[in-house]
Amino acid sequence: MPGCGGGGWTRGRNTQTPDVSRHVSGGSGGTVGGANVTGDREPEGAGGVLRLGTRTSPLAMVQARGVAARLRELADVAVEVVGIQTGGDRHQGHLGELGGKGAFMREIDRALLAGEVDIAVHCLKDVPGDVPRPDGLAFAAYVARDDVADLMLFPKAGKVQCLADLASEARVGTSAVRRRAQLGRIRPDLRIEYLRGNVNSRLERLDAGEFDAIVLARAGLTRLGIERPGEALDILPAIGSGVLAVDCRRADSEVVELVRLLDHPETRRCVSAERTMLHGLQGHCNSPIAGHARIERDGRLSLRGMVFTQDGSRFVHSEERSPVEKGEDLGARVAGDLLRKGARDLIGSVPH
């Protein structure tokens, strides 16, 4: 494997940790895929180091460091976080111009396949449903799901503190077509405007008066340690919302075994249902599709799915339940029901 070598893992107490020294990269820093990268390095003198690739945004780095810390805790291994700037991060325009959210993953996928990093962390909601994952890569772990709420935030100096109090024609910033459609359904009188950038820059633009409100994921704010009052919206989340997925090379069996220490079975069951529904609908990067699975009090798995027109004026909805081990069947059933109700026409009405 390119970039491999070195003297094995730095480990301590956990004698059950897989011996994966031949699978990991030696050294640290430098470039990945020809691009400058940033990294959280282990102290000098460490042996083989597991290199964890991620985007360079503040939120992505915080998330990756959390995963790295958990791996160190569970397996007593050395982990270096390697920041990789992606095309989606460099591009300041609409993500649709780059083919959607897959623009956040291509460079990281290439680095993983080339052996320049050993594992990678992605927000699952940013993993496209209409683009096959590269051969040879697998999500070995889905970290326990965080809060899935969409939070509407308002300028600090303003008096408005809830959606109902926003004036007609108020400017609301978001980049998500799913949020745009559902807000259009609830408040068609609002001006929903495209907003991209990292969390802090979006908050700065909100407080500068460019928007009357913006919508952000509460999980992202929590991970960044940002405490700010807002209103949790009654809208359906994105597929994979609140879930971090840990990617690795399928052939690196011992690395896969290590990463599986992070896997949360309940989250995996929910993700299985949601992603199967998404694949069945065959939407594109501009398709307003929402879905959320959860394990109910009776122990059964439930899945809600919705598909909208761009402005939210028309939509279809489905909800089904199944035994928890039948997530893929549940996702296929909900997708089929949505398609019978006209989801294909709604998806086709949205340009991409």
- Kindly state the helix (H) or strand (E) to which residue 319 belongs, with its residue range: strand 315-322
Alpha carbons 197 and 180: distance in angstroms, whole number: 17
Torsions phi, psi of 109, nearest 5? -60, -45
Q: Which amino acid is at 312?
A: G
> At 289, which amino acid appears?
I
Bridge partners (DSSP) of residue 305 are: 291, 318
Catalytic residue among 109, 118, 126, 150: 126
Can you spell out the DSSP letters for 203-216?
A: HHHHHTTS-SEEEE
- CA–CA dist 295, 314 (Å, integer): 29
Long-range contacts of 224-232 (CB under 8 A, 24+ apart): 224/58, 224/59, 224/62, 224/199, 226/199, 228/153, 228/203, 229/153, 229/161, 230/151, 230/152, 230/153, 230/154, 231/151, 231/152, 231/161, 231/162, 231/163, 232/149, 232/150, 232/151, 232/152
Catalytic: 146?
no
Does residue 99 contact residue 278 with C-beta atoms inside 8 Å?
Answer: no
Three-state DSSP state, 220: helix
Helix ranges (DSSP H) in the chain = 58-75, 87-90, 106-113, 177-186, 199-207, 218-224, 253-259, 265-281, 327-340, 343-348
- CA–CA separation, 69 and 53 (whole Å): 14
Quick one: CA dihedral 187, 193, 197, 200, positive or negative? negative
Residues with catalytic roles: 126
